[in-house]
């Protein structure tokens, strides 16, 4: 008799999770006894320090520090001409990098990157930054900071244009939009709605690109203008404006369909949830997402063919069952369950489009995650004053989110851009998706974890090999001398299951049995392997440490 076990989730392991400090500098504070207490309690002799124990490890914070940087231009003159020439003496001056903002004696690349990082990464409005600067003894008006953010857009916009060209080269994209309030916009009242549109690459892209674009309304021709001339698959929600795009296959979002049922269950008591039709609809959607987790383990071959075939075999059946259930549902049209079922039936064509290609995804969560930083920032700074300000926000959010998607630290990347762009004409090498930032900090700690794991593995092998080499070396010469003695034939078969040569082809085998291999030869190979482990472990540690120093980790 078969017994069905209900699906359950493994409990999270309780306890402290040790932090990884491998990428941080270490400062040691040595605590010592006073001179008057360094005497032996037994013989009263003076004692000496014989070692140190790490009593505890603490994480120390150094607040933001500011300094004044002066750029000195060196002038050069000719000593010989000063002595013999009666005319004007030739002078040469050293080259000085161009400032980010001409005429501003304050705005350095690092300061601009710091202000942008505080506002667009940490969602700290400019008026709060102004207050913090005052507490640090600096008078930086918020109006100046706002003007700086708008000014640097002339450097950022060419990079965003190059990012857009690369974005439209992909066949699978994601889109989403969210509202934003602009106070001073010609022809519009401050209360009227405006929108920030988001376009980004899908999960199959090698280098992710995230682009924000501000538009004063939510008309369907806004995405049509942005995607002009583009054909492919577009992940989006149920907004009708996307469905009017020409030569574009709209992919519906199953997460939106499931969310209708999930929201209903949140309003019901637990005793009523098991009898609700909303639970039945949610279970269908959960089965689809569970299958997607299984497909994620498949090898991503050309165009994700394996996932495409698995969906046709399994997911399509679940979808058909779901829509058959929705078609026969007895829920009233105006009820919450009826509205959820009606949404799924209206979106059926677009929801089933996920079966067209293995590169497609079941939900549009990727775009929603990318638009969330803007939503969090909007809750803090609430509105934009001018169109120039909201366009600056769109450009800076595009660079920052793309940098984060590609593993770059946003502050380091912005500082690099502000240092380089005023003295450079090309924008392509500065794209966040370019692999030209070897010394830049990574945004995620996984890079430090990877370095640490790879660095520790060969060192561990070397440590394990060292005692084995020490144990084997004293017996190594004895084994070699013994194996140099002439071999004696084996007259009796070896016990167990020896290799048998029926023709007696191997000389000295005796009764056709093969001679056992020499023990010394085995030890030779083992000794050489251990020495190789020891040497390679040390070399790997040195090389990886040098690599980490070069990468600034």
C-alpha of 442 from chain center: 8
> Same domain, yes or no, for 488 and 473?
yes
Structure tokens at 471: 């144990």
Cβ-contact 365, 270 below 8 angstroms: no
Q: For residue 84, what pLDDT is reported?
A: 83
Q: For residue 340, what pLDDT is reported?
A: 94
Alpha helix locations (H) across 57-181? 79-84, 109-120, 126-135, 142-151, 153-167
Averaged in consecutive runs of 10 residues, what is the pLDDT profile of the chain (553 residues)? 52 66 89 91 91 90 90 91 82 90 88 97 96 93 95 92 95 96 92 94 93 95 95 95 94 96 92 89 96 86 82 96 93 92 95 95 96 96 94 96 94 93 68 63 47 47 56 54 48 41 39 44 62 68 56 43
Q: For residue 12, what pLDDT is reported?
A: 60
Q: For residue 455, what pLDDT is reported?
A: 46
Cβ-contact 253, 236 below 8 angstroms: yes
> Same domain, yes or no, for 357 and 458?
no
> Same domain, yes or no, for 217 and 281?
yes
Q: For residue 543, what pLDDT is reported?
A: 60
> Same domain, yes or no, for 151 and 180?
no
pLDDT (tens digit per residue) in 139-188: 999 999 999 999 999 889 999 999 999 999 999 999 999 999 999 999 89
Q: For residue 64, what pLDDT is reported?
A: 86
C-alpha of 525 from chain center: 43
Q: Which domain holds residue 532?
A: 446-551
Which single residue is written with the structure tokens 């240092």? 419
Residue 414's φ and ψ, nearest 5 degrees, are -65, -40
> Same domain, yes or no, for 345 and 490?
no
> Same domain, yes or no, for 379 and 518?
no
Please tell me the distance from the alpha carbon of residue 30 to that of residue 505, in angstroms, as a whole number: 73
Please tell me the distance from the alpha carbon of residue 273 to that of residue 271, in angstroms, as a whole number: 6
Q: Is residue 330 domain-resident?
A: yes
A 10 A CB-CB count for 98 gives 11
> Same domain, yes or no, for 402 and 488?
no
> Same domain, yes or no, for 275 and 183?
yes
Q: For residue 21, what pLDDT is reported?
A: 82
Q: For residue 310, what pLDDT is reported?
A: 93
Q: Is residue 512 domain-resident?
A: yes
Residue 500's φ and ψ, nearest 5 degrees, are -115, 135
């Amino acid at each position: 008799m078969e017994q069905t076990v209900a699906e359950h989730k493994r409990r999270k392991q309780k306890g402290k999770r040790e932090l990884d400090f491998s990428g941080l500098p270490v400062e040691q504070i040595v605590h010592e006894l006073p001179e008057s207490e360094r005497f032996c309690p037994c013989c009263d002799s003076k004692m000496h320090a014989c070692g140190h124990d790490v009593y505890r490890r603490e994480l120390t914070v150094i607040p933001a520090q500011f300094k004044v940087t002066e750029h000195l231009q060196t002038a050069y003159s000719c000593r010989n001409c000063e002595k013999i020439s009666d005319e004007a003496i030739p002078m040469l001056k050293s080259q000085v990098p161009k400032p980010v903002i001409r005429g501003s004696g304050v705005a350095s690349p690092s300061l601009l990157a710091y202000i942008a990082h505080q506002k667009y990464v940490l969602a700290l409005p400019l008026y709060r930054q102004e207050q913090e600067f005052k507490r640090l003894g600096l008078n930086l008006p918020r109006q100046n900071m706002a003007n700086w953010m708008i000014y640097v857009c002339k450097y950022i916009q060419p990079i965003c244009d190059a990012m857009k060209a690369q974005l439209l080269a992909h066949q699978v994209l994601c889109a989403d939009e969210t509202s934003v309030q602009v106070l001073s916009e010609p022809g519009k009242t401050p209360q009227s709605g405006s929108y920030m549109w988001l376009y980004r690459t899908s999960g199959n892209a090698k280098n992710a690109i995230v682009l924000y674009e501000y538009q004063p309304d939510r008309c369907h021709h806004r995405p049509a203008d942005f995607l002009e001339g583009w054909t492919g698959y577009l992940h989006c929600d149920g907004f009708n404006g996307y469905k009017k795009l020409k030569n574009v296959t709209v992919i519906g979002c199953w997460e939106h369909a499931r969310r209708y049922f999930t929201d209903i269950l949140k309003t019901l008591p637990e005793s009523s949830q098991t009898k609700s039709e909303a639970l039945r609809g949610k279970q269908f959607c959960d089965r689809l997402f569970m299958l997607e987790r299984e497909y994620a383990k498949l090898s991503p071959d050309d165009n994700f063919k394996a996932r495409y075939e698995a969906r046709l075999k399994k997911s399509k059946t679940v979808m058909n069952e779901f829509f058959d259930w929705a078609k026969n549902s007895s829920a009233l049209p105006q009820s919450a369950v009826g509205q959820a079922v009606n949404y799924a039936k209206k979106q059926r064509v677009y929801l089933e489009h996920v079966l067209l290609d293995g590169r497609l995804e079941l939900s549009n969560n990727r775009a929603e995650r990318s638009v969330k930083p803007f939503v969090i920032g909007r809750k803090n700074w609430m509105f934009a004053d001018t169109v120039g300000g909201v366009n600056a926000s769109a450009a800076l959010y595009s660079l920052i989110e793309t940098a984060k998607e590609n593993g770059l630290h946003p502050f380091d990347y912005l500082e690099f851009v502000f240092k380089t762009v005023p003295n450079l004409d090309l924008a392509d090498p500065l794209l966040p998706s370019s692999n030209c930032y070897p010394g830049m900090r990574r945004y995620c700690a996984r890079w430090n974890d990877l370095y640490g794991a790879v660095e520790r593995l060969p060192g561990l092998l070397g440590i394990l090999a060292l005692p084995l080499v020490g144990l084997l070396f004293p017996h190594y010469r004895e084994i070699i001398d013994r194996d140099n003695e002439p071999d004696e034939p084996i007259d009796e078969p070896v016990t167990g299951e020896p290799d048998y040569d029926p023709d007696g082809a191997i000389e000295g085998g005796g009764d056709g049995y093969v001679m056992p291999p020499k023990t010394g030869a085995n030890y030779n190979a083992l000794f050489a392997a251990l020495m190789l482990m020891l040497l390679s472990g040390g070399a790997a540690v040195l090389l990886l440490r040098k690599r980490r120093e070069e990468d600034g980790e």
